[in-house]
Structure 1
């Protein structure tokens, strides 16, 4: 209950969600404050905000709740009662262009599994992992392992430069130079996306990142493809995402001399989280899949 009050910043909201009265919620908060001998919340512009002590207590309680929920998963598996739900998170490119076929193949092997997939930016996937909303994250963005996550490569992806068949670069019979990108209208994802961060990282390694600006930014790869097909600019996109367009000729690949956008795709998990049986099977499936 305490954690919910911190997250909702409202006693009334928590009381509605739990079908109890506001005084009952307030009483629990007061009991905690009396027990610890300190104030845990303050009012700020109508919201209930935890004090410094309250924030620290929230972290401790979240950890207790996490371990409590973990205990059921561990005991159920020891009893032979496996959880059949697979909660995944993935960044956009993986979720939209790679996972549909993979999950279909996995479902054929394990027809009883219930798959829940959350697709979002790399930071969003990592946040969901931290909050234990998902068990496995699949991202193309750069992730620091640190004390929180364990990160392991499961596949590779190549990003390529593409343009409209009507674009001037589509007539190029040979590769272009890296410097030729400077004068082009480059269209890309938003700054916190895994693809955008990777592109900027590669450009920085070639000392040209400061000379290149993104002419347009979109929140989805599909929107970028549409803009490029409309000849509004060029884009660096995952080869996975543009296979159909390259085949039907609505997009054209532009080779760049001495510049490759090859990246690894990563499985990310919490180091302190128990990985259930179905998650282990899915991870093994990814490692054994032929790419």
Structure 2
């Protein structure tokens, strides 16, 4: 009951609106108000200033909010540790990944884990960097795999596990396809297709261009799209060029569909990072997953072998035997 009151308080404090909090918690407004009133009576303090526009934390409410955050975090960690003691229970890892990692790196890793550790279930959310950062901060996800600049929050812990290069990608029939590199000055005259604002790829590109003396606003950006696959389709149609991860076009470059050009002024690299919270205890399965990512030799081996195809062949064999 007390934990429920704390969850109600936290939701009201963060939404600053009792109606919205009620919707998110699937509770009635009177029930929400009663829970808050009971807490205030219990501590003999007023936690919220109420107006027609909503509610806001009082000084006492701000102090109580910090304590509530800490208590709920401890309860969540305790639940994770107790669950990990149940040897008969399948391990579950809830992680988030940005689009490039989720589409082009994670499938290899998941296929490897499926083969080596079938006792682990993995639930994955694929979203842009801003969304994954927020979910890790709110403890909806325990592990985030992100690209782009380091998120600015004191509770985040970041560890690099891979490095990616951003390249200029053109269709193979483009006049630049006979080249291996391009200058930023030349790039500013082409129609550019980019990812949406909030994407790690977009942010890294803008920072890199600014560091090299080119204002991103000078680029002729004609489309902003929410997925790498959509960008590739548009570039393939000859509607522009793009700056994206070399990982995402490796296969198409081998098939002579695209040509990837390095930025001549200086290559643009970005780290791919593991994002966790400093206050969150990890289960043994989460530690296994993180240790796997940090084993660069093993990860390189996983990336070079097609475990997805190996698993498909194993399934076919089992089907034929059965």
Instruction: Give TM-score scaled by structure 2 length.
Output: 0.79
CA gap 1:33/1:253 in 2 versus in 1, 3 angstroms = same
Equivalent pairs counted in the alignment come to: 287
- Structure 2 residue aligned with 1:133: 140
Counterpart contact for 1:12–1:22, Cα < 8 Å: no
- Any idea what the Cα deviations from partners look like across 1:239-280, whole Å, max 9, x if unmatched? 211123223332222343242122211111111110111010
Deviating more after overlay: 82-91 vs 215-224: 82-91
> Displacement of 1:49 after TM fit?
2.6
- Structure 2 residue aligned with 1:269: 276
CA gap 1:108/1:51 in 2 versus in 1, 3 angstroms = same
Counterpart contact for 1:83–1:277, Cα < 8 Å: no
- Structure 1 residue aligned with 2:318: none
> Displacement of 1:213 after TM fit?
4.3
- Structure 2 residue aligned with 1:124: 131
- Structure 2 residue aligned with 1:279: 286
Task: Say if 2:174 is the partner of 1:167.
Answer: yes
CA gap 1:263/1:181 in 2 versus in 1, 3 angstroms = same
Counterpart contact for 2:253–2:260, Cα < 8 Å: yes
CA distance in structure 1 between the aligned counterparts of 2:87 and 2:214, rounded to whole angstroms: 56
CA distance in structure 2 between the aligned counterparts of 1:128 and 1:169, rounded to whole angstroms: 41
- Structure 2 residue aligned with 1:202: 208
CA distance in structure 2 between the aligned counterparts of 1:32 and 1:138, rounded to whole angstroms: 38
> Displacement of 1:76 after TM fit?
4.5
CA distance in structure 1 between the aligned counterparts of 2:32 and 2:184, rounded to whole angstroms: 62
Task: Say if 2:60 is the partner of 1:68.
Answer: no
CA distance in structure 2 between the aligned counterparts of 1:73 and 1:102, rounded to whole angstroms: 23
**Alignment counterpart, residue 257 of structure 1, candidates 261, 264, 272:** 264
- Structure 2 residue aligned with 1:290: 299
CA distance in structure 1 between the aligned counterparts of 2:147 and 2:20, rounded to whole angstroms: 40
Counterpart contact for 1:106–1:285, Cα < 8 Å: no
CA distance in structure 1 between the aligned counterparts of 2:115 and 2:277, rounded to whole angstroms: 27
Task: Say if 2:196 is the partner of 1:187.
Answer: no
CA distance in structure 1 between the aligned counterparts of 2:271 and 2:24, rounded to whole angstroms: 45
CA gap 1:49/1:107 in 2 versus in 1, 3 angstroms = farther
CA distance in structure 1 between the aligned counterparts of 2:52 and 2:105, rounded to whole angstroms: 45
Counterpart contact for 1:159–1:238, Cα < 8 Å: yes
> Displacement of 1:154 after TM fit?
0.6
Counterpart contact for 2:46–2:58, Cα < 8 Å: no
CA gap 1:82/1:268 in 2 versus in 1, 3 angstroms = farther
Deviating more after overlay: 242-251 vs 4-13: 4-13
- Structure 1 residue aligned with 2:116: 109
Counterpart contact for 1:90–1:139, Cα < 8 Å: yes
Task: Say if 2:65 is the partner of 1:58.
Answer: yes
- Any idea what the Cα deviations from partners look like across 1:52-106, whole Å, max 9, x if unmatched? 3445533431321111121232345467677711011111100111101211111
Instruction: Give TM-score scaled by structure 1 length.
Output: 0.87
CA distance in structure 1 between the aligned counterparts of 2:14 and 2:231, rounded to whole angstroms: 35
**Alignment counterpart, residue 44 of structure 1, candidates 39, 52, 63:** 52
- Any idea what the Cα deviations from partners look like across 1:172-204, whole Å, max 9, x if unmatched? 446333311121111111222111111112212
